[in-house]
Amino acid sequence: MRSVSKVERRVVAAAERVLARQGHVCPLDVLAGMGWLPPGQVTEWRQGRRPHLEACAAVSADRLVDAMEVFERWAAGQELRPAQVEYVAATRDRRPLRFTAAGDAGAEASFRTHWTPADMPERRREQLAARQSRPPDLVVVLAAKAFTCVGCGRTDSSMVMMEDAGPSCLACVDLDHLVFLPAGDAALTRRAKQASRLSAVVVRLDRSRRRHQRQGLLVEEAAVERAEEQCLSDEEARARRRERDRLRRAEADERLQEEFARQIGRLFPGCPPDRAAAIGRHTATRSSGRVGRSAAGQALEPDAVTRAVVASVRHEDTAYDELLMAGVPRDEARQQIRDDIERVLERWRRRP
């Protein structure tokens, strides 16, 4: 009987979760599900700010090759159908994105291959391929500090597009005729983008979360006016739909928090039920950015649940917060309370 390596188990588990969740699967989703592709790094690669995907990976190129071989064997064993998808950068030239440093044609093709069930309707398959091959949005960054445009040398622009040569102002990238539409009204944003022949997503770096947060869109002024007229005509119907969606989301959030607490109870039977419930509510709060809202957390993966429990123990059952307040560096503080966390976890792993 063939032995199964740890990497193979992780690849297969991640692939099965992705396929069950979205009905199709690709290498990037699997590697991200394994934690080998940090989302922020992948975003920079998609924006053309990384030379290739291997430069974003948290593991070596050899380990990526091993994982890809396992994934392709699994996909063939599941009788999934392969289809090539184009990956282009969110840059003005829409250049093809590279996956490997060597640029080997076979490896590049493997990364571009998406897999779908054999019984998926052909129309659905075509729609999926079209959506996956759609070029990504252009991205403009709200500058956190003054910058010098590499094209014209101006230093008073508040928005910048990152290009190979460096930061460029909107005038130099031919986007200065667009107007800024702040985020907040989903219907207005969606309709304005549809009506605008040219648009760009505006983001700002959130240093605390170490990722860019969407701030709005750059669109044509006429598109905003047209979208506003459309929104005024059906405001009442959209208000009713928003209320229904709000109730549906609240119910889904409550179910996730309850399921998270039950999973804590299975992994840590000694954890008090009220504490498990509190951890579930805290980590699964919508828009919190905590582990419970990640794909792994919503799938109730043991590693994600354990990370949520560890975070709770760190703050509630150790002197970690006091050490931070006393000026102890974060890494040193975590090292000091590591044994305290393990003692609590060991006690909770035993049935009362």
The average pLDDT across 259-286 equals: 94
pLDDT, the chain, mean: 89
| pTM score | 0.60
In this predicted structure, the answer to whether residue 28 has a pLDDT above a threshold of 50 is yes
CB atoms inside a 10 Å sphere around CB 180: 16
**Checking DSSP bridges between strand 200-206 and strand 138-142, what pairing results, if any?**
parallel
- Please write the tens of the pLDDT for every residue from 62-97: 999 999 999 999 999 999 999 988 899 888 788 899
**Structure tokens, 247:** 């109730």
Q: What pLDDT does 146 receive?
A: 81
Q: What are phi and psi of 230, to 5 degrees?
A: -65, -40
Q: What pLDDT does 6 receive?
A: 86
In this predicted structure, the answer to whether residue 2 has a pLDDT above a threshold of 70 is no
In this predicted structure, the answer to whether residue 178 has a pLDDT above a threshold of 60 is yes
Contact of 83 with 129, CB cutoff 8 Å: yes
In this predicted structure, the answer to whether residue 237 has a pLDDT above a threshold of 90 is no
**Structure tokens, 127:** 């729609």
Report the amino acid identity of residue 106: G
In this predicted structure, the answer to whether residue 292 has a pLDDT above a threshold of 50 is yes
**Structure tokens, 184:** 């907040």
- Longest Cα separation, the chain: 70
Q: What pLDDT does 327 receive?
A: 92
Q: Between residues 145 and 188, which one has the greater pLDDT?
A: 188
CB atoms inside a 10 Å sphere around CB 198: 13
- Please write the tens of the pLDDT for every residue from 99-128: 999 989 999 999 999 999 999 898 888 888
CB atoms inside a 10 Å sphere around CB 334: 16
Q: pLDDT above 70 covers what percent of the chain?
A: 99
What gap in Å lies between CA 246 and CA 84, rounded to an integer?
38
Model confidence at 262, pLDDT cuts 50, 70, 90, reads very high
**Structure tokens, 17:** 């979760």
Q: Where are the alpha helices (DSSP H) in the chain?
A: 6-22, 27-33, 39-46, 61-77, 105-112, 122-132, 186-195, 221-233, 235-267, 273-283, 295-298, 302-316, 320-325, 330-349
Q: What pLDDT does 4 receive?
A: 59
